[in-house]
């Protein structure tokens, strides 16, 4: 038996939805794209949604639409997947890492303030594990310094911030539908926004910068005619993927309910143990629980990690602070730039969390974790 840290949940309806598209006229850029976009926009309460090939492309597109270029600085967290800051590099900009809050593990607004310069153009807030960042403070800082706010919500589909769904409150919010995330399309991503201007820019960027919209073209030479207005990419999502997404999002609230229940079970099992710190929970926000991350203290993390892996439990570590990656070090980043991120990284372990995880599997994980932290010196 091997229990991964995350995995997809696919049922017969999902499979049928994909088969139907395979028998239809369109495999890509057909009716399922807009249908999925509308489903996500409606779910999060945003005006617009743009389907895109993956969560990384979504971040790239958002940075592009934000106008990030050479000489621009973008502040983000080091406790994230490398894509959050790589997207800034794709556009020629410079990621700047601000330390995390040691309780929430999210970017600390006070640390953002310290990193602002005349070159700062945007903030990329990452809702780590699905726990919303302190968005009121982040929006306040952005307003004071005229910055664009992008939320990397790859972990946070279905989370809400003070009564509003993540995806509805900032300039742009990006999502990923990789199989470990809340819902999956295999590979896939989405950007949500309330701005027509960002929306238009994202649509162009997704498909080579090409338009057939006569309102946007410089002139029209006939029905064959199109124009490339910007330098875009082929970042399109397929109808096959979107059909899966449309069916998956119907089950999202159930998936989140199950994740919450599993988190409750973990918390109850671990909260009395001295050498485990359970995750932070804030009442005014609803974490959608992409990851369940504990910190182990007074005990060697690697030892615990290796023992659990030996027991068939696919524990993981999210994340190695991005500035420590050789590519970033080579480009001049300080390998210990953020103290709280270092502390957190040295203790963190992600335990299995996904909606198909059974009670029996979870009990096994809990027993192994307890045996391990109590048995090892």
Ligand X SMILES: *Cc1c(COP(=O)(O)O)cnc(C)c1O
User: In whole angstroms, how close is the CB of 108 to ligand X at the nearest point?
Assistant: 17
Residue among 83 and 269 whose Cβ is closer to ligand X: 83
132 contributes a contact to ligand X by CB under 6 A: no
Q: Write out the binding residues for ligand X, residues 275-294 only, by CB under 6 A.
A: none
52 contributes a contact to ligand X by CB under 6 A: no
* Number of residues engaging ligand X in binding (CB under 6 A): 14
User: Residues 169-188 vs ligand X: string with x where CB under 6 A?
Assistant: -------x-x----------
Q: Write out the binding residues for ligand X, residues 142-171 only, by CB under 6 A.
A: 152, 154-155
User: Looking at the DSSP assignment, which residues form a beta bridge with residue 190?
Assistant: 51, 175
The three-state (H, E, C) secondary structure of the chain, written as one string: CCECCCCCCCCHHHHHHHHHHHCCCCCECCHHHHHHHHHHHHHHCCCEEEEECCHHHHHHHHHHHCCCCCCCEEEECCCCCCHHHHHHHHCCCEEEECCECCCCCCECHHHHHHHCCCCEEEEEEECHHHCCCCHHHHHHHHHHHCCEEEEECCCCCCCEECCEECCCCCCEEEEECCCCCCCCCCCCEEEEECCHHHHHHHHHHHECCEECCCCCCCCCCCCCCCEECCCCCECCCEHHHHHHHHHHHCCHHHHHHHHHHHHHHHHHHHCCCCCEECCCCCCCEECCCCCEEEEECCCCHHHHHHHHHHCCECCECCCCCHHHCHHHHHCCCCCCCCHHHHHHHHHEEEECCCCCCCHHHHHHHHHHHHHHHHHCC
84 contributes a contact to ligand X by CB under 6 A: yes
Region from 77-85, 116-124, 195-203, 348-356 binding ligand X, contact rule CB under 6 A: 77-85
User: In whole angstroms, how close is the CB of 191 to ligand X at the nearest point?
Assistant: 12
User: Which residues have a catalytic role annotated?
Assistant: 181
Q: Write out the binding residues for ligand X, residues 189-208 only, by CB under 6 A.
A: 189
Residue among 132 and 189 whose Cβ is closer to ligand X: 189
Report the residue from 49, 83, 133, 357 that binds ligand X according to the rule CB under 6 A: 83
Report the residue from 8, 9, 56, 201 that binds ligand X according to the rule CB under 6 A: 56
Report the residue from 8, 9, 54, 76 that binds ligand X according to the rule CB under 6 A: 54
245 contributes a contact to ligand X by CB under 6 A: no
Residues in CB range of 261: below 8 A, 6 or more apart: none
Q: How many CB atoms lie within 10 A of CB 149?
A: 21
Residue among 80 and 192 whose Cβ is closer to ligand X: 80
Residue among 126 and 246 whose Cβ is closer to ligand X: 126
Residue among 270 and 323 whose Cβ is closer to ligand X: 323
Residue among 84 and 238 whose Cβ is closer to ligand X: 84
User: In whole angstroms, how close is the CB of 12 to ligand X at the nearest point?
Assistant: 25
Report the residue from 75, 126, 341, 357 that binds ligand X according to the rule CB under 6 A: 126
Residue among 97 and 270 whose Cβ is closer to ligand X: 97
Report the residue from 36, 64, 81, 161 that binds ligand X according to the rule CB under 6 A: 81
User: Looking at the DSSP assignment, which residues form a beta bridge with residue 293?
Assistant: 350
- Nearest-CB residue to ligand X? 55
User: In whole angstroms, how close is the CB of 290 to ligand X at the nearest point?
Assistant: 7
106 contributes a contact to ligand X by CB under 6 A: no
User: In whole angstroms, how close is the CB of 307 to ligand X at the nearest point?
Assistant: 26
Using CB atoms within 10 Å of the CB of residue 195, give its burial: 0 to 12 exposed, 13 to 18 middle, 19+ buried. middle
Binding residues (CB under 6 A) for ligand X: these are 54-56, 80-81, 83-84, 126, 152, 154-155, 176, 178, 189
């Amino acid at each position: 038996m091997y229990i991964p840290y995350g995995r997809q949940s696919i049922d017969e309806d999902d499979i049928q939805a994909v088969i139907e598209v395979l028998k239809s006229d369109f495999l890509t850029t057909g009716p399922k794209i807009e249908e999925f976009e509308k489903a996500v926009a409606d779910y999060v309460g945003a005006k617009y949604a743009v389907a895109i090939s993956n969560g990384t492309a979504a971040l790239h597109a958002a940075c592009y639409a934000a106008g990030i270029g050479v000489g621009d600085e973008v502040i983000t967290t080091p406790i994230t997947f490398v894509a959050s800051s790589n997207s800034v590099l794709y556009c020629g900009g410079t990621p700047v890492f601000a330390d995390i809050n040691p309780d929430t593990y999210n970017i600390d607004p006070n640390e953002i303030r310290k990193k602002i310069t005349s070159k700062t153009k945007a903030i990329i807030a990452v809702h780590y594990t699905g726990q919303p960042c302190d968005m009121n403070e982040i929006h306040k800082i952005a307003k004071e310094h005229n910055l664009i706010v992008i939320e990397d919500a790859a972990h946070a589909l279905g989370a809400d911030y003070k009564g509003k769904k993540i995806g509805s409150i900032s300039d742009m919010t990006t999502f990923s539908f990789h199989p470990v995330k809340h819902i999956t399309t295999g590979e896939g991503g989405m950007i949500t926004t309330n701005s027509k201007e960002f929306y238009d820019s994202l649509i162009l960027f997704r498909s080579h910068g090409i338009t057939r919209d006569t309102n946007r073209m410089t002139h029209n030479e006939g029905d064959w005619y199109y124009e490339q207005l910007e330098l875009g990419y082929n970042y399109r999502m397929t109808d096959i993927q979107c059909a899966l997404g449309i069916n998956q999002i119907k089950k999202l609230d159930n998936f989140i309910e199950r994740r919450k229940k599993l988190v409750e079970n973990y918390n109850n099992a671990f909260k009395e143990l001295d050498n485990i710190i359970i995750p932070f929970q804030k009442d005014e926000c609803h974490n959608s629980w992409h990851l369940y991350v504990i910190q182990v203290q007074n005990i060697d993390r690697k030892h615990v990690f290796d023992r659990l892996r030996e027991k068939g439990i696919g524990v993981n570590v999210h994340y190695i602070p991005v500035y420590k990656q050789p590519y970033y070090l080579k480009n001049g980043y300080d390998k210990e730039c953020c103290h709280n991120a270092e502390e957190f990284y040295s203790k963190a372990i992600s335990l299995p969390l996904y909606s198909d995880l059974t009670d029996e599997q979870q009990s096994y994980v809990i027993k192994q974790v307890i045996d391990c932290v109590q048995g090892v010196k």
